[in-house]
Amino acid sequence: MRCWSDYGPLSAVNRTSVISDRLIFEAIVRTHQGAVRAFLRRLTGNHALADDLAQDCFMRALSHMNDLQDPTKAKAWLFTTAYRIFIDHYRKTKRRADLTPNPNIFSPDISHAVPSAGLGLDLSKAMADLSPDMRACLMLVLSEGLTHAEAAGVTGLPLGTVKSHIARGRKTLQTALSAYLEKADNNA
């Protein structure tokens, strides 16, 4: 923890600014920590690795706090940072085996809509068959509620590519899970 002397001679205004930035950052972490960790867990399929990457994400975010111009866009800013850290890790390790998604990737809402023990396994397999970019686009838009434009900003992909990844990914998942969808339609 830093003390006031670490910042050099500070006026009362500068001290207030430092305190304000710290409070803003703490609020951002509290608000988005769970979503960032869940996103990274889905990308990596490894809880310990995801937690390490999330910690790196927040450390990088803290050191670049001045880059955040609008605190209302903190979620997209953090997801961009998290995705870039994931890509950096992926490039360093070059191990595709680490990219298999978590079996608990589906949200609780989906699991209650179609009660089946096999749904989670089939969804995990279908997600694992997608490319990492397509999987990230789907999770950002469908799971985290980002817009297509925000997902494009996070992943660094062109907007059209994000839209096609989402459309193709949805179609792939619908095909892979068609038996569950038909069962749900029959029960309705």
Task: Tell me how far apart the alpha carbons of residues 22 and 34 are, in angstroms, rounded to a whole number.
Answer: 19
Residue 43 lies in a domain: yes
Residue 137 lies in a domain: yes
CATH of the domain at 45: 1.10.1740.10
Q: Both 122 and 92 in a single domain?
A: no
Single residue among 51, 66, 100 that ends a domain in this structure = 100
Which structural domain, as residue segments, surrounds residue 110?
A: 106-188
Residue 127 lies in a domain: yes
DSSP letter at 131 equals -
For residue 23, what are the CA distances in angstroms to 3, 95, 140?
A: 15, 38, 27
Domain count within the chain: 2
Task: Tell me how far apart the alpha carbons of residues 4 and 98 are, in angstroms, rounded to a whole number.
Answer: 42
Q: State the CB neighbour count (10 A cutoff) for residue 145.
A: 10
**Residues 162 and 148: beta-carbon distance below 8 Å:** yes
**Residues 139 and 155: beta-carbon distance below 8 Å:** no
pLDDT digits (tens), the chain, 188 positions: 444 344 444 444 444 555 677 788 888 889 999 999 999 988 888 889 999 999 999 999 888 888 878 878 888 889 999 999 998 888 887 654 444 554 444 443 444 444 456 777 777 788 878 888 898 999 899 888 899 999 999 999 999 999 999 999 999 888 888 877 666 666 65
DSSP letter at 129 equals T
Residue 114 lies in a domain: yes
Integer-rounded Cα radius of gyration of the chain:
19
Where is 89: in which H helix or E strand?
Answer: helix 74-93
CATH of the domain at 162: 1.10.10.10
Q: Both 95 and 111 in a single domain?
A: no
Single residue among 55, 77, 100 that ends a domain in this structure = 100
